[in-house]
Amino acid sequence: MSTLTTSSEVKTAIEALTKGLLNYDNQSPELLDIIDVLGQVEKKIDEKKHPETLVIRMINYIRSVSMRGKIHFLKPEENIIIDLGTFGQKAGLNGQYMADFSDKSQFYSFTEQMPRHN
């Protein structure tokens, strides 16, 4: 069961996950995209009335991109992802919309520059 209950705790978990991923030897484009999205969610989470919907979209994105990029997370990072996913499940079905989970642009507004890693 996730111990994450507030946006502040989620931000701390995202910071820890980002820090862990930045230490991975293979900084593939997919991993860098995941790190970008983590930063976007961390910036925007306090603005959201229902942060769990943003978090579940982020988790779906991470799972989708990590499968495509064949990224295997180490145990500490996997545990954080699981905790964040449990927090995101509070969104229920409203967080699960029929979108392309691998589309990074869903985390950026029209006025924000979206980093590209090829």
pTM for this one? 0.83
Average pLDDT value for residue range 49-64 = 92
The pair of three-digit structure tokens given for residue 1, joined into one six-digit string: 């069961």
pLDDT tens-digit map of 79-96: 999 999 999 888 775 545
Mean pLDDT of 46-54: 89
Asked if pLDDT for residue 3 goes beyond 90, the answer is: no
Q: Answer whether residue 75 shows pLDDT above 80.
A: yes
pLDDT for the residue numbered 90: 81
Do residues 101 and 63 touch, judged by C-beta distance below 8 A?
A: yes
Average pLDDT for 16-28: 96
Residue 93 confidence (pLDDT): 59
